[in-house]
Amino acid sequence: MQFFRLLKYAGKYKKYLILCPIVMIGEVVMEMLLPTITANLIDKVIPESAASGNITRVLLYGGLMLLMALVSMGFGMAGSRLSALGGMGFSRNLRQAIFEKVQKYSFKNIDKFSTASLVTRLTTDVNQTQNVVMMLVRMAVRSPLMMVMAIIMAFRMNSSLMPILLVTVPILLLAIVVIMSKAFPRFQIMMKKYDALNASVQENLIAIRVVKAFVRASHEKEKFEASADDVTATQRAAERVVIWNGPIMQILMNGSIIALLWLGGGQIIGGSMQLGALSSFIQYVLQILMSLMMLSFLFVSFVLARASVTRICEVLDEEPEIESPENAETEVEDGSIVFENVGFSYSGDASNLVLEDASFAIRSGETIGVIGGTGSAKTTLVSLIPRLYDVTCGKILVGGKDVRDYDIHALRNQVAMVLQKNVLFSGSIKDNLRWGNENATDEEIVAACQASAAHEFVQSFPGGYDMDLGQGGVNVSGGQKQRLCIARALLKKPKIIIFDDATSAVDTATDARIREALRKHMPETTKIIIAQRITSVMDADRIMVLNDGRIMDFGTHDELMQRSTIYKEVFTSQQKGVA
């Protein structure tokens, strides 16, 4: 079972997980012996002592019982500590394993899981699993042992009263099975409705401006009311079943007490049993029923956690698509790029290519512009260069060698990419920029920011380069964020740098300043610029025109103006009116 597979992640915390049930045994044994000793005390020792007036044996018994209580407390406390150590250690290791696995994922793997689902797996699902593990180590041995011991002790005390269990236990089991099997699907429906409710709140938070702009608050309220009523109705349907649990348990426990008082009472009157024994026997029977109940809880939480366990296993089982080969190349010679009949499909299906038959060569140090409509595969094409995805057919050479022959990190350190959907992280601006180069000096950082036209506004911030960005870089505007992202990439001093629509929120003049700075400071570096604005690419050495996954043309601005209708069309639509 998947669950037990996950248990191996306990690692060095395994010893706690094993020790905990053992310690629990100690607690159970003490707890189970207590009623027998009490019965003995009451039935034998007390009458004898009362008769003789000598209470030394009573004191002895009392001392023994106190000692047992203390020992049991010690075991119980140790059990608490061990289960906490083991459970939290287990979840720590499991979380670490999932996180490290995700770090090994390629873009394709990440595409498969959504960001939100990966976060849920790392948080909620791990917690669920951890709770079950902690419950398991405390209960899995304790409850059955308690049950078995209670049965043995009760049997030794009075075997003729045992048949009462033959009535109560099957009824309890049947009730548990019926209730669980009815409630479980109802809870699942409820959870779905609950998710939908939360999703609608989330949606309203994200799109509050749209709701307000279109005056749709009452519309949204109606939708929410329906959703909230759904949750309430399904919740009631599920809980209506579950609340039978209590009464059934009470009927069985109280019924057992009365039956035992009647039957046991008769035996006492007949002289074959004593009062103390009956009182202890009742306690044993109640304990048997309780531990059965506990076991059913354990079973239920096990089943409930199954979904979480499956989701975690999915992440752990996912094979990273892209890994460094053995004896990998670690040096990237220069910034030259060659595409040879490259085809690519996100699904790996060669008959349905997003990018088809791409062949071209770029010299080291060239500046290349890439333009094309939405869905023309611009981003796809450049993503293949730092091997964010593997080609479906054909091959790509960087610095004269196949990208698949390089050590992944060595390749990506030399091929910097400024992504379209870029992010900054919490921490200071300086911390963020150092992502590009951990050991960058302050001078290097300032130089990179000057080149990306970021230095000016960074200096205007309170704290300058030490200003905290907040989670997700919320404290800077879109255009400022893009410029910081560029600076971060520049600090890598790569042999190839790719800008994927990286200046869309930057105004034209600043955009031009950045390109000029690149030309001046990074003459050796191959620069690939994807842009919507034609002004961003027209001064490039060569411009690639993409359409619908094919390279339509590749040449200088002047050449393209002569022969490419697409290029000319875009140019005139954007540039008309300029003198």
Structure tokens at 18: 């094993």
Our CB check for other proteins shows the closer of 322 and 393 to be 322
Instruction: List the interface residues with other proteins, window 42-101 (CB under 8 A).
Output: 42, 45-47, 49-51, 53, 55, 58-59, 62, 65-66, 68-70, 72-73, 75-77, 79-81, 83-85, 87-89, 91-92, 95-96, 99-100
Q: Which of 204, 324, 364, 428 binds other proteins (CB under 8 A)?
A: 204
Contacting other proteins within 95-124 (CB under 8 A): 95-96, 99-100, 102-107, 110, 114-116, 118-119, 122-123
Q: Would you say 421 or 443 has its CB closer to other proteins? A: 421
Interface residue with other proteins among 261, 293, 328, 552 (CB under 8 A) is 261
Name residue 13's amino acid: Y
Q: Which of residues 373, 400, 463, 523 is near other proteins by CB under 8 A?
A: 373
Using the minimum distance from each CB to other proteins, give the nearer residue, 156 or 219.
219
Answer yes or no whether residue 205 interacts with other proteins by CB under 8 A.
yes
Minimum Å gap between C-beta 143 and other proteins is 14
State how far the Cα of 242 lies from the Cα of 294, in Å rounded to an integer. 15
**Closest CB to other proteins among residues 296, 422:** 422
User: First and final CA of the chain: distance in angstroms?
Assistant: 73
Q: Tell me how far apart the alpha carbons of residues 4 and 526 are, in angstroms, rounded to a whole number.
A: 51
Least gap, CB of 216 to other proteins (angstroms): 7
Instruction: State yes or no: residue 534 binds other proteins (CB under 8 A).
Output: yes
10, 416, 529, 530: which one binds other proteins (CB under 8 A): 416
- Report if residue 570 touches other proteins, rule: CB under 8 A: yes
In the block, residue with structure tokens 């490259």: 342
Confirm or reject binding of residue 436 to other proteins (CB under 8 A): yes
Cα(490)–Cα(341) distance, rounded to whole angstroms? 30
Residue 224 in contact with other proteins, rule: CB under 8 A: yes
Q: What share of the chain is helix, strand, coil (3-state, %, to 5)?
A: 65, 10, 25
Which segment (147-155, 164-172, 237-245, 390-398) binds other proteins by CB under 8 A?
237-245
Q: How far apart are CA 525 and CA 495, in angstroms?
A: 5
How far is it, in rounded angstroms, from Cα 251 to Cα 377? 70
Q: Which residue has the tokens 């030394």?
A: 56
Region near other proteins per CB under 8 A, out of 3-11, 205-213, 287-295, 353-361: 205-213
Binds other proteins (CB under 8 A): choice among 6, 17, 21, 27: 27
Q: How far is CA 486 from CA 378, 422, 517, in A?
A: 19, 10, 12
Comparing C-alpha atoms, which of 387, 376, 379 is closest to residue 337? 387
Measure the CA–CA gap between 38 and 25, rounded to whole angstroms. Answer: 20
Widest Cα–Cα separation across the chain: 124
Residues 6 or more apart whose Cβ sits within 8 Å of residue 517: 450, 451, 452, 453
When the beta carbons of 340 and 461 are compared against other proteins, the nearer one is 461
Residues 484-523 that bind other proteins (CB under 8 A): 488, 492, 504-513, 516
Per-residue x/- track, 127-146, other proteins (CB under 8 A):
-------x---x--------
Amino acid at 551: I
Task: Read off the DSSP letter of residue 113.
Answer: S
For other proteins, which residue of 175, 315, 417, 530 counts as binding (CB under 8 A)?
417
Q: How far is the CB of 381 from other proteins (least distance, A)?
A: 15
H or E segment to which residue 563 belongs: helix 557-563
The answer to whether residue 215 forms part of the interface with other proteins (CB under 8 A) is yes
Is 276 an interacting residue with respect to other proteins (CB under 8 A)?
yes
The residue among 42 and 328 lying less far from other proteins, judged by its C-beta, is 42
- Piece of 149-157, 358-366, 392-400, 430-438 that binds other proteins (CB under 8 A): 430-438
Q: Least CB distance from residue 177 to other proteins, whole Å?
A: 20
Written as six digits, the tokens of 134 are: 């902690």
Q: If binding is defined by CB under 8 A, does position 171 make contact with other proteins?
A: no
Which two three-digit tokens encode residue 285? 């029977």
Q: b vs e for 370-380, b when ≥16 Cβ sit within 10 Å of the residue's Cβ?
A: bbbeeebbbbb
User: With binding defined as CB under 8 A, does residue 251 bind other proteins?
Assistant: yes
H-type alpha helices, 351-452: 378-383, 408-414, 429-433, 442-451
> Among 167, 199, 307, 350, which residue interacts with other proteins (rule: CB under 8 A)?
199
Alpha helices in 452-507 (DSSP H): 455-460, 478-490
- Among 35-43, 309-317, 327-335, 391-399, the segment contacting other proteins (CB under 8 A): 35-43
Report how far residue 335's alpha carbon sits from residue 385's, in angstroms, rounded to the nearest whole number.
11
Positions in 3-22 near other proteins (CB under 8 A): none
Angle at 264 between CA 262 and CA 268, to 5 degrees: 115
Nearer to other proteins, 16 or 344 (CB): 16
Q: Which amino acid is at 419?
A: L
What gap in Å lies between CA 180 and CA 220, rounded to an integer?
Answer: 36
The correct pick among 459, 471, 562, 565 for binding other proteins (CB under 8 A) is 471
Residues in the chain: 579
**Which residue of 335, 369, 479, 549 would you call a contact of other proteins, by CB under 8 A?**
479
Closest CB 524 distance from other proteins, rounded Å: 21
CB of 341 to other proteins, least distance (A): 26
Interaction with other proteins in 304-343: which residues (CB under 8 A)?
A: none
Tell me the number of residues near other proteins by CB under 8 A: 173
Residue number, 340 or 450, with CB nearest to other proteins: 450
Q: How far from the centroid of its chain's Cα atoms is residue 299's Cα?
A: 24
Quote the CA–CA distance of 65 and 46 in Å, as a whole number: 15
- Closest CB to other proteins among 67 and 361? 67
Helix (H) or strand (E) holding 146: helix 142-157
Residue placing its CB nearer to other proteins in the complex, 412 or 527: 412
Does position 389 interact with other proteins (CB under 8 A)? The reply is no
Residue 551 sits in the site that holds other proteins (CB under 8 A): no
Cβ neighbors of 211 (< 8 A, separation 6 or more) are: 204, 217, 220
